[in-house]
Amino acid sequence: MKRNKEAAKIAKHISEFLNDYAPMFLTNSEHTLKSYKDALTLYITFLENEGVTPNHFSRHYFEKNFIEKWIKWLKEERHSCSDTCNVRLGSLRVFLRYLGEQNIELMYLYQEAKNIKRQKCVKKKVAGLTRDAVKAILNTPDATTKTGKRDLVFLTILYSTAGRLDEIRSIKVSDLNLDKQNPYVIIHGKGDKLRTAYLLPRAVEYIKVYLKDFHGLKPTMDAYLFYSRVGGKHCKLTEQALDKRIKIYAKIANETCQDVPLNAHAHQFRHAKASHWLEDGINVVQINYLLGHEHLNTTMKYLDITTEEKLKALATLETEIEKTKDKKWKNVDGTLVEFCGLTR
C-alpha cells in the first residue's frame, strides 16, 4: 500500500513537539508537558476509535468538527468534567499552533480550534490556609531527623516565597543568596521568567543548616536544593513525593488545629501567603510581581479582589516582570497511537 506521506509528517510533528519543542521553548514544568502529551494521546485514541488508521490519517482529522466530537467523547465516554475538557482543548490548541508554524497551510486548524467554545465551569476558589494553620503545619516536622529537617526547609520556602510547587522543586543551590544584606532566592517562573523572593532571618538560618547537612561544606552549585535520594543531586524530588509529605503533616497538625485541611496541598500555601500579604497591607501590584503573574487581572481573580480594591490597585500603577525517547513516527505498522509515537 502506498505510504501516507502527510500522516508521517503529522506524526513526526507530534513527536518533535512533545520531545523537543515544548520542553525547549514552552515550559520546564513536568506537569504541563504531561498535559500536552495526555491531550494528544487522548485525541489520537479518539480518532482511532472513530476508525482512523495510519493509512488514512491527515489534516482533515484535526478540523473543528472532529475536535468538537472529541470533546463530546471526553465528556460522555470518559466522564471528564468541564474543567478537564477545557485543559485538554487548551493543550491541543498549543500543538495546532505549533503545527501551523511548521506548515503555514495548516494554520487554519489552529484558527478553527480557537473558535471552539470552552465548556462552562463553576468557578472554584482555592481554599487557602489561615495563619494558625500554616503555623501548625510548620511546627509539625521533626527537625532532629534528616527528613524532618528537609521538610521544614521545604515548607518554610514554599510559604515564604509563595512559589509554585515546581518552582520550589527547581531551585538550585546557585539560586540562593544567603549572605547578602537582604538574603533572597531566585525563582524560575513560567516562561523562564526570573523573580526575586526575599527571605527572613529564620528561613535563612534553616536553609544554612540544611545545606550543611544535605550538600556539605562545598555544595555543587548546579545541584537541586531538594533532590531525590534515588536520582541524586541533579534530580528533582517528585511532586507526588512532596505532596505526600504535605498531607502527612496536615493530618498531624489537624489534631491540634482544626483550621488545617486534611487534604492540604502545595498551592494552598501560595494562595495563603498572597492573602496574608494583602492583609498586611502590601500593594496588589507588588503581590502581582511576588506571585510571578504576568497580568494584574490574574492576581485580582486569584485573590478575589473587589472592584473597589481593584481600582485602588490600578491607581498605584502610576507610581509602580525527554529527549532520548525513540521517534516512533516512522513505524507505519500497528495502531494510530503507536504510529504517532504515543503511549496510552
- 257/206 same-domain check: yes
Q: Does residue 299 lie in a domain region?
A: no
Could you give the CA distance from residue 339 to residue 343 in angstroms, rounded to a whole number? 10
Regarding whether 259 and 205 lie in a shared domain, the answer is: yes
51/12 same-domain check: yes
Count Cβ atoms below 10 Å from residue 327 Cβ, excluding itself: 13
30 residue type, one letter: E
Look up the CATH number of the domain holding residue 238.
1.10.443.10
Asked if residue 287 is part of any domain, the answer here is: no
Q: Please give the biggest Cα pair distance in the chain.
A: 72
For helices 82-102 and 64-76, give the axis angle rounded to 10 degrees.
Answer: 150
Q: Are residues 16 and 155 in the same domain?
A: no
What CA–CA distance (Å, rounded) separates 153 from 2? 61
State the Cα–Cα distance between residues 304 and 164, nearest whole angstrom: 19
In a domain, 290, yes or no: no
pLDDT of residue 322: 37
Q: What's the domain count of the chain?
A: 2
- Shared domain check, 27 and 157: no
Q: Are residues 73 and 163 in the same domain?
A: no
Let me know if residue 237 belongs to a domain: yes
Assigned domain for 100 exists: yes
Tell which residue, 92, 101, 321, 302, has the closest CA to residue 190.
321
Identify whether residues 95 and 172 lie together within a single domain: no
Structural domain contains residue 208: yes
Residues 185, 229, single domain; the answer is yes
Same-domain check for residues 190 and 115: no
Identity of residue 160: S
Question: Which secondary-structure segment (H or E) carries 233?
Answer: strand 232-236
Domain region containing 17: 5-123+324-339
Alpha helices, H only, the chain: 5-16, 30-49, 64-76, 82-102, 107-114, 131-138, 146-161, 165-169, 201-215, 239-254, 266-279, 284-291, 296-303, 307-315, 336-339
Q: What is the pLDDT of residues 169-187, one digit of tens each?
A: 999 999 999 999 999 999 9
Q: Determine the Cα angle at 92 with ends 88 and 97, to 5°.
A: 150
Question: What residues in the chain have per-residue pLDDT under 70?
Answer: 1-3, 122-127, 302, 304-334, 344
* Same domain, residue pair 258 and 190: yes
Give the pLDDT of residue 325: 40
**Are residue 112 and residue 138 in the same domain, yes or no?**
no
pTM of the model: 0.60
Q: How many CA atoms lie within 13 A of 38 on its CB side?
A: 13
Instruction: Render pLDDT for 140-164 as a digit per residue (tens, 0 to 9).
Output: 999 999 999 999 999 999 999 999 9
Are 136 and 260 part of one and the same domain? yes
